[in-house]
Homo-oligomer: A and B are copies of this chain.
Amino acid sequence: MLYLKRCAARLESGMDPEINYCSVCGAKVSHKVPAGDSLPRHVCDACQTIHYRNPKLVVGAMPIWGDQVLLCRRAIEPRYGKWTLPAGFMENDESVAAAALRETLEEACARVALGDVSTMISLPHISQVHVFYRAELLDLDFAPGEETIELRLFREDEIPWDEIAFRTVQLTLEHYFADRREGQYRFRTLELEPRE
């Protein structure tokens, strides 16, 4: 549960832990613009390591079964009880596609065949990029993972639009249904501002 709480806190804030000490040598760090750089970084004056911070990829899948989409009701904060697509932080040593498959298996215990990428959405205010694949659900043997209360297949007119956990999920679903009506699926790159 500690892990889940920490994951939730990270997802909500999008922030890495503070950098007060050098993770290499343990000395105090300064926050300054390194020579030749243009942005302030956390720099260790003892061992010279520069501790960069970079945006994180959140990767997910939209599991499709006929005219229905599989959504997960969240068992964790943020947005406890709201509906989402299976998605999570990409891990080191995996590909974007592998991350989408892993998250779908972890959160929905579901096996999918990935299609094309549907959306890549930048959230600069929390230093995240969300990437969603369209995916074909291979069977109906799905089951809630540890972070999921329940799973359900929704037709377009059943989607609980007011109960969707994240704007990137809502946009991905909206574009999917719009493209389906047009009969042509497109890849979209979008950028979201902070909520009002």
Residues of A within 8 A of B (CB): 1-4, 6, 10, 16-26, 28-29, 34-37, 39, 42, 48-57, 89-98, 116-117, 120, 122, 124-125, 127, 129, 131, 146, 187, 189, 191
Across the interface, A10 reaches (CB within 8 A) one of B18, B25, B52, B55, namely B52
Across the interface, A189 reaches (CB within 8 A) one of B93, B94, B97, namely B97
Listed A/B pairs (18) with beta-carbon separation below 8 Å: A1-B36, A3-B35, A3-B36, A4-B36, A6-B34, A17-B23, A17-B51, A20-B23, A23-B23, A53-B92, A54-B92, A57-B57, A92-B127, A93-B127, A94-B124, A97-B189, A98-B124, A120-B120
Which chain B residues border A127 with CB–CB below 8 Å? 92-93
Which chain B residues border A17 with CB–CB below 8 Å? 23-24, 49, 51
Q: How far is the CA of A92 from the CA of B3 in the complex (A)?
A: 24
Q: How far is the CA of A55 from the CA of B90 in the complex (A)?
A: 7
Most buried by B among A2, A37, A96, A191: A96
Which chain B residues border A55 with CB–CB below 8 Å? 57, 90-92, 94
Residue of B nearest to A15 (CB): B92
Contacts A18-B24, A19-B23, A35-B2; A95 near B57 (Cβ below 8 A): no
Q: How far is the CA of A103 from the CA of B156 in the complex (A)?
A: 40
Q: How far is the CA of A57 from the CA of B107 in the complex (A)?
A: 24
Residue of B nearest to A47 (CB): B17
Most buried by B among A22, A92, A93, A122: A92
Residue of B nearest to A102 (CB): B38
